[in-house]
Chain A
Amino acid sequence: MTCIEAHGLHKSYGSSVALNSIDLNVAEGRILGLIGPNGAGKTTLLNAILGLTSFSGSLSVLGRNPWTQRDQLMNDVAFVADVAVLPRWMRVSDAIDFVAGIHPRFDRAKAEAFLARTTIKRTSKVRELSKGMVAQLHLALVMSIDAKLLVLDEPTLGLDILFRKQFYDSLLNDYFDHHRTIVITTHQIDEIQYILTDLLFINRGNLVFGCSMEDFDTRYLELIANPAQLAAARALKPIQERQTFGRSILLYDRVPREQLLPLGDVRTPSIADVFVAFVGDPNQPAPYSPPPTSMPSSYTGAAQ
């Protein structure tokens, strides 16, 4: 079943275009990583999906229009839009009481169990908690909601690496169950590589790349070319070339591993490497070679 479906989804603020007629199809049970530089339109896209902003074009989330049918939709959707938006005056126990009181899919016992693993006191107010504790509390609340779609916008921003690791492990082990759909944005791309099933790059309001992680793992290879074979390596049409410690690193799409092996060291690239190839290195505005495959202005997630 389709969880998110968009056709010609468009949003502009004045003259600046935040989303440029995006087509998107995310199947149920996927974990989608939405990756893009600052100001690429990630948050606008998530806000449209969550019914927080109006849009033109068509968008359907769990079969509903998020802007006009938001009230019903929010029974089945949970999100963390930003860390540190929990009201500072709220007590931890009040927060649990409140969500338990109003949310049809909240499991109080689950939230208590999550919190029992932390050092958060029930009587504390949010303003008395450290930044990491506030995030833990918020995630404990959200992960205790049996939602069909969970949207996480930079859920671990400003948190230390131990917590981030714990969080993503917990998300995968305790929360994800092949029926839920999870959409995550983050700048720490490589940390979520292992939990994603799908990947989507967004830049300047356009979807510039999308594939399933199975495809990603088979399609992309990185070659650290032997200087002598550089010309031969370039002849295989890499989608990107960069220099590290005086050696050329070339990124290939759909070039068989056997063909590359004689030319140097071959390895699987990280998401970040491929991201830079598609979106460009913001620190190095040198022109990047456009990918030979057709640039997807639309993305359709692999069917279950």
Chain B
Amino acid sequence: MTPQTDALPTSFPEATRTATARRVPETSRLFWSLRRELWENRAIYIAPLAVAALIILGFFYSTLRMPAGMLISTTVDTNGVVTHTSHGIDPIAPYTIAAALIMGTTFLVGIFYCLDALYGERRDRSILFWKSLPISDLTTVLSKAAIPLVLLPLLTWVITVVTQSIMLLINVTVYHARGIDTGPIHSGLPLTQNSLMLLYHLVAIHALWYAPIWCWFLLVSAWARRTPLLWATLPPLALGVLEMITLRSGHVFEFLKYRFHGPEGSDVYSGGQSMSMQMPLSPAHFLATPGLWAGLALAAVFLAAAVQLRRYRNPL
């Protein structure tokens, strides 16, 4: 009834035992954790790519089929020279709308990703598998926070720039074929400058300014036993309503509005007017905004709490 000693092991001779314990740097654990997030949540890149593809298709179709009268005006000057210029529909607007659509998509993807990031693994009990591996709660939570804070802004930027370049190519090619002047597009759309402004906007607002929002969602996702979406949104709104009823003031709503709207002058797409995507807020001004640093500090607190919660929480 005791284990038979002759049946015992040949598979791990002493020499290989020590050899198998190699050193795994923390960065490579972070790298694999990020890969894991992308395996699990393919919507992170599929959703914005799908939106970009739709935009390009729609743009191609409308550029091709739009009546020439809506695109150009014909003027005959005193010398009898006929010039065609585009008018009517703002030639730059589609580019701005494309960027806004892709940005909106990744924003929504970010929200739903964060709400599920630490909740889904408890719901399907796979947290027991992840916790059986030597990856700390800190590394796991950081890899999940890196998706909305680092990866999504960069991905948004790359997809937007590529989409706009393809749109420009379509625009120029089709206009050229139809004999429409492409000058206004070239002058109105300094692509390089715009893409840099877009990158600045994404890093400043979507990553840094929104950091407490992302981390709040992660925290709720680590804490909630069900419906993290409701737990993340209803309590702040209820607090705001309660404040309005009892104190007849609106500080909570002001705070939420400020957080979502961004600091003064950071609005890139306000009213569709800023065609050149000039962000009036300079980096120096932005970095000097107290709200930025307060928000980042809050984000750090939320993340630390999420790490602790993941340590204590059992599968649902």
Contacts and interface: CB of A to CB of B under 8 A. Distances in A.
Interface in A72-121: 74-75, 78-82, 84-91, 94, 98-99, 101-107, 110
Interface residues of A, number: 54
B32 interface: yes
B11 A110 contact: yes
Contacts of A91: 39
A176 B8 contact: yes
A81 B124 contact: no
B28 A177 contact: no
B21 A105 contact: yes
Interface residues on B, range: 35 or more
A273 interface: no
A104 B8 contact: no
Contacts, number: 122
A193 interface: yes
Contacts of A31: 3
B102 to A, nearest CB: 25
Given A31-B3, A98-B35, A178 B8 contact: yes
A163 interface: no
A284 B197 CA distance: 77
Given A85-B125, A173-B9, A102 B131 contact: no
A80 B35 contact: no
A241 interface: no
A86 B40 CA distance: 12
Contacts of A103: 24, 133-134
A265 interface: no
Nearest to B31: A101
A213 B32 CA distance: 43
B132 A80 contact: yes
B40 A146 contact: no
B99 to A, nearest CB: 31
A82 B7 CA distance: 28
A171 to B, nearest CB: 10
B8 A177 contact: yes
Interface in B113-150: 121, 124-129, 131-136
Interface string A126-160: 00000000000010001000100000000000000
A88 B134 contact: no
A173 B126 CA distance: 29
A175 interface: yes
A174 B12 CA distance: 8
A114 to B, nearest CB: 11
Interface in B221-257: none
Interface string B172-209: 00000000000000000000000000000000000000
B134 A74 contact: yes
B132 A79 contact: yes
Contact of B133 (A54, A74, A89, A196): A74
B129 A86 contact: yes
A107 B17 CA distance: 10
Given A98-B32, A146-B17, A177-B8, A213 B1 contact: yes
Nearest to B136: A71
B134 A217 contact: no
18 contacts: A53-B314, A74-B132, A78-B132, A81-B132, A82-B125, A85-B125, A103-B24, A103-B134, A104-B20, A104-B134, A172-B3, A173-B7, A174-B9, A176-B3, A177-B8, A195-B3, A213-B1, A214-B2
Interface of B: 1-3, 7-9, 11-12, 16-17, 20-24, 28-29, 31-33, 35-36, 39-40, 121, 124-129, 131-136, 311-312, 314-315
9 closest A-B pairs by CB? A74-B134, A87-B126, A177-B9, A101-B32, A81-B128, A71-B136, A85-B128, A75-B134, A146-B20
